[in-house]
């Protein structure tokens, strides 16, 4: 049954790409939505893997993932990024399924949540940022990398969907929804997530001054691996 469920959750996706030392990303799809979605993979100092916003992959790519280390933590980062939580929990029964406190009830509707991100992740050296100016929805994770650098992982608080890699009807649907463009808040984000523009803009500006940030990842769109501070400052001006 678990195998059958996994197979039903595998949709077209790209290769696993190394973004930096100890962090990878895979971009997949979720039919019928035209919106690409990203899973980030981070390797902790102990060698265990944390999967952020899990996406079921074909067996060849899953073998590549398993070769990186044992999966120990599976993060469903918000109420909507939970579609593949149960298949991953079944595939890795010893891993902990985590969710932010604000989303535990919604994630628990589809899979057993073992603990909150807030109670578990700081012990791994991960810094949690609760973004002011947004309604309770997601918590941003700052993962330590090599040589004093770090990667900031957001979910839906910012999109980075340029039009160059979008094709067909999906491109036009996403454009109509206001989801296509440079790093910024989408029309939907403004309506559903944004509570106080000034507070959220100030938060992005503060994060832009973090000298250790070398990578910025979002759930939908390209990662930023150069001039992260400048990208965040520009996004703040678009809020």
pLDDT on residue 31 = 79
Residue 97 pLDDT exceeds 80: yes
pTM: 0.94
- Over range 64-77, report the average pLDDT: 98
pLDDT on residue 181 = 81
pLDDT on residue 180 = 76
pLDDT on residue 176 = 62
pLDDT on residue 170 = 61
Domains and CATH numbers, the chain: 2-238 (3.60.15.10)
For 108-146, what is each residue's pLDDT tens digit? 999 999 999 999 999 999 999 999 999 999 999 999 999
177 or 183, which is more confident: 183
pLDDT on residue 168 = 62
Longest dimension (CA), the chain: 49
Please provide the average confidence, as pLDDT, over all residues in the chain.
Answer: 93
Sheet holding 213-217, edge to edge: 127-129, 140-144, 150-153, 213-217
């Amino acid at each position: 049954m678990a195998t059958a469920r996994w197979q039903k959750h595998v949709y077209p996706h790209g290769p696993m790409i190394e973004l930096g030392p100890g962090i990878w990303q895979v971009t997949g799809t979720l039919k019928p939505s035209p919106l690409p979605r990203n899973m980030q993979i981070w390797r902790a100092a102990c060698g265990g893997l944390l999967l952020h916003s899990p996406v079921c992959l074909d067996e060849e790519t899953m073998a590549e993932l398993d070769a990186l280390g044992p999966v120990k933590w599976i993060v469903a980062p918000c109420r909507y990024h939970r579609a593949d939580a149960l298949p991953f929990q079944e595939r890795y029964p010893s891993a902990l399924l985590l969710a932010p406190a604000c989303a535990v009830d919604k994630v628990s509707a589809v899979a057993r949540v073992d603990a909150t991100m807030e109670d578990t992740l700081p012990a791994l050296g991960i810094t949690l940022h609760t973004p002011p100016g947004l309604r309770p929805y997601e918590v941003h994770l700052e993962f330590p990398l090599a040589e004093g650098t770090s990667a900031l992982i957001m979910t839906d608080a910012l999109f980075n969907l340029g039009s160059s890699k979008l094709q067909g009807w999906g491109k036009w649907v996403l454009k109509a929804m206001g989801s296509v463009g440079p790093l910024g808040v989408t029309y939907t984000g403004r309506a559903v997530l944004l509570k106080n523009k000034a507070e959220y803009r100030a938060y992005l500006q503060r994060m832009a001054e973090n000298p250790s940030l070398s990578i910025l990842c979002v759930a939908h769109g390209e990662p930023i691996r150069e001039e992260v501070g400048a990208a965040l400052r520009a996004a703040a001006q678009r809020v």
